[in-house]
A and B are shown apart, each in its own frame.
Chain A
Amino acid sequence: MAYKRHVDRLPIIPADAKKHNVTCHYCIVGCGYHAYTWPVNKQGGTEAAANAFGVNLAEQQPAETAAWYAPSMYNIVKQDGKDVHIVIKPDADCEVNSGLGSVRGARMGELRFSTARGSQLQRLTDPMVWRYGQMQPTSWDDALDLVARVTAAVIKEQGEDGLFVSVFDHGGSAGGYENTWGTGKFYFGSMKVKNIRIHNRPAYNSEVHATRDMGVGELNNCYEDAELADTLVSVGNNPLETQTNYFLNHWVPNLRGTSIQKKQEQLPDEPHANGRIIFVDPRRTVSVNAAEAETGKDNVMHLAINSGTDMVLFNAWLTEIADKGWVDKAFIDASTKDFDKALAANRTTVEQAAEITGLTVEQIRQSAAWIAEPKEGKRRRTMFAYEKGLIWGNDNYRTNAALVNVALATGNVGREGGGCVRMGGHQEGYVRPSDAHVGRPAAYVDKLLIEGKGGVHHIWACDHYKTTLNAHQFNMVYKKRTDIVKDAMNAVPYGDGASMVKAITDAIHAGGLFSVDVDIIPSKIGAASHVWLPAAESGEMNLTSMNGERRMRLVERYMDPPGNAKPDCLIAAGLAQHMEKVLREMGDNAYADQFKGYDWKTEEDAFMDGYNKNAGGGEHVTYERLRAMGNNGFQEPAIGFEDGKIVGTKRLYTDGKFGTKDGKATFMEAQWRGLQAPGKEEQKKNNKYLINNGRANQVWQNAFLDQESEFVMDRWPFPFIEMSPDDMTELGVKNGDLVEVFNESGSTQAMVYPTPTARKGETFMLFGFPTGVQGNVINAGTNELILPNYKQTWANIRKISDAPEGVRHLSFKSQEYMAG
């Protein structure tokens, strides 16, 4: 039977409950929520005056009511040391989500740390160190002292290049401006660390180098543009599952035609109709299905290209649009350069493109017309949205450029109903000192670690074991190297600090690696670490981030962090202070002085030191002002403070000036060169099945919290692999059978999910899941800028076992909505 909570009533929020601003800390959309808290021995009542909604709760509430919350939104947490009830429910007045909660965000309440209700007891409550053969609790001073002593010793011997770092660069959970600044000041201010990588890629680099090199920042429009566009172009992107409420609240109204009035009001001098949509994706997703349900199949094109051939399609679009005379010549002349050069270099006929992409000539021509053919003499407004299918796909730099070329050629950047944007995973929240010293290409950190480089590894909310490429080999080597240090530590009494540091550094000389994991839970890679430092999450600290339309909000602290956990920025500060102390003891005062300037008492101090002083427009932004801006916040960059409000920027580049030296956006050459990353062609030749991969609706990121959600783990005890019925027959597997996915790079497991819409030989596996790591079969090949290609992966598949007991009750029906 499906998991049920057997909750048949919930405590009512009293009228005088405290109400905190909350932005969902999961995906980039950043939906507005409120956290209501009240003492554990109190409750509201059903009478209107006795509850927070002012309505009679003894009556059934209607659809879309704000006066209801699900059991998943409720918990009992600690606030200032006392138990309080908490309800974290969507905010109907937030422009982003208008009261919608996704299956991820609407479970924030249930996934809070609660000793009273036993939820998320996996959270780390104390610093932990390897002692007597296992992880044991200790004090902050003890743990930070050990980390600083080993780190300083390694740097003294190897220089700062001996310190390897894996660190988040995003907003929301495990990130935010406070924490990117705290960590950034430490590694890029006090030090100039080069061997550093980001949570989802093996180097410290942009996911979208090309668009930035062209002068077009990748988050350049606003969510309302999706309501205003004539045509939406969605590339390698499944917005219903991964940016759910952006899709539901801003794309669907356009597809349904309910945003027409808004179009007519804002853009009165042109004809308007329901939005059309083009999906470029080898896989049919639920987003395609939902779009068809809303606007009819006639207004939806699903271009199911051969995996990895996106660039050829975009170049054919550019060629076709230019040849038809549908380009925005005035815009090209005034605001761009190198159009003719790029057009000539990228010239691709629709016939050539059809050959490579597997589409028909007609599909390519028709999609180009939907993008650019003028509507009764007026320029068509087209919004381009791309995500990991492009970013983590074949020849990603050039493919990104090829798409931005089309957006620029059609004048669709900086205009209403336009934009050429990364859809995004996490929220953003980046403010750090310059990373220029990292260089380009940046160091391939995973590769260097596998090769035995580095003596100490600091990890901040990253879990390579689950989320990197070439994960199988990485995990094996990492375990071996960290075990050398563990064995050495086992041989020394813990209390003998000097001997302990010597044992560790000796082990490092012997090829070992000392690993420090800053996280909220014991992660998979943390199993190899020697020190765990417990971090606080959003809501356990005040935290600022921005969403995919650069909307910045403050999440107000509504509960205590578990035990002794702290905000990452304050952990970084503590580490810096211990580094200063240890270096002074070593007699290196000059180096020790570099670790001054961390006397922050609160996360707000880190915010003022970081964002307020360093972000563009940061001087206009304070906690107090953000609090007053509520869940709608403002859109970055801030350009002023007037009438008690921060003045933001709705769209970038509305003046036609771009982010290049001369202000002109630059068209870029992007020529097709097949499967670009080393090893991909060979892997494709040697293995039978495409193992496309990505996210699932119910799961946030690598399931770090969801792995303790009964609701999620009941649905997905193992990662699914979507497979065509023909492939299932050929492999002799049934619904829910466990299969091994294997190739030259490694092996992993998944659960068969029958998918009639899947093409034969093309599977899709859930990425980054704890009970089966897809990254194990992704080879090490990257592009020249060390951007990984996760998507184009081929492997063989064989049956491991029939569906295990925990799988038999699952539904294996189509995930596509069907009208009754």
Chain B
Amino acid sequence: MDRCNRLVDVGRRQFLRGSAFAAATAVALPTMPAKAAPSLALVEYPSNKLANVANLKPNEPFDVTYPDGDAPGVLLKLGTKVEGGAGPDGDIVGFSTICPHKGFPLNFNADDRTLNCPGHYSRFDCEAGGQQIWGQSTANLPQYALRVDDKGDIYAEGLDELLYGRLSNVL
């Protein structure tokens, strides 16, 4: 913050010097440029309730959408704790189910807990943060930031990769 304040001060001094010069020569100050609309550095993700813990059965995909109805995804209760897993057992994860390669819908394979793309055979590991096991996507699978409250309601509150087919995750 100190550094920022100093930069502001430098700017103010420059401005004053300029205006002093302007006053001395009795020339009117130029009009101020149009003000840019303020915008935030991060995309503002909605906090959407997707399900309750009670809705999930181990290793059965629970279809959801996030951050809006055009973005299909899935919640999974893996049955074993994983890094990044939410809920009382640390085993709930959520992923986009649109392949980040060419936008085909992914299919869940319960036998090895993977999401598979019928378009070009890419595979993503639901137990390893959506890591692409093999495939043509240049990104691992977008995963939801999940929060589970006291009542067991599961909220998605963010994504960690760009969704296929949109240049902003929140449209």
Contact = CB atoms under 8 A, between A and B. Distances in A.
Pairing of A with B? yes
B133 A2 contact: no
Contacts of A239: none
User: In which size bucket is the chain A interface?
Assistant: 35 or more
A103 B134 CA distance: 10
B76 interface: no
Interface string A43-69: 000100000000001111111110011
Interface string B3-34: 00000000000000000000000000000000
B110 to A, nearest CB: 8
Contacts of B112: 813-814, 818
A5 interface: yes
Given A6-B160, A46-B167, 20 more contacts: A1-B83, A1-B128, A2-B125, A3-B140, A4-B143, A8-B43, A58-B171, A61-B103, A62-B165, A63-B119, A68-B103, A70-B139, A70-B164, A71-B162, A101-B101, A811-B131, A817-B123, A818-B109, A819-B109, A819-B118
Contacts of B137: 70, 103
A160 B116 CA distance: 57
B128 A811 contact: yes
A7 interface: yes
Nearest to A814: B112
* Most interface-central of B71, B165, B170, B171 (chain A CB within 10 A): B165
A286 B117 CA distance: 14
Nearest to A59: B171
**Interface residues of A: mostly helix, strand, loop or mixed?**
loop
Nearest to A57: B167
Contacts of B114: 813, 818
A248 interface: yes
A724 to B, nearest CB: 18
A134 B86 CA distance: 51
A810 interface: yes
A244 interface: yes
B139 A71 contact: yes
A2 B131 contact: yes
15 contacts: A2-B131, A10-B167, A12-B167, A62-B103, A63-B103, A68-B166, A71-B138, A71-B161, A100-B120, A103-B137, A811-B133, A813-B112, A813-B123, A814-B112, A820-B116
Contacts of B140: 2-4, 711
Nearest to A44: B167
Contacts of A107: 138
Interface string A358-377: 00000000000000000000
B135 interface: yes
Given A2-B129, A60-B70, A813-B112, A9 B121 contact: no
A364 to B, nearest CB: 29
A810 B132 CA distance: 10
Given A817-B123, A819-B116, A8 B169 contact: yes
Interface string B82-99: 011000000000000010
Interface string A779-820: 000000000000000000000000000000111011111111
A697 B136 CA distance: 8
Contacts of B111: 818
B154 interface: no
Contact of A64 (B100, B103, B133): B103
Contacts of B162: 5, 7-10, 70-71
Please give me the 4 A-B residue pairs with the lowest Cβ-Cβ distance, nearest first. Answer: A820-B107, A63-B103, A2-B131, A817-B121
Given A7-B162, A818-B112, A819-B109, A697 B134 contact: yes
A811 B125 contact: yes
Contact of A8 (B100, B129, B159): B159
Nearest to B68: A60
Interface in A233-250: 240, 244, 248
Contacts of B164: 63, 68, 70
A600 B118 CA distance: 51
Nearest to B108: A820
A290 interface: yes
Contacts of B119: 63
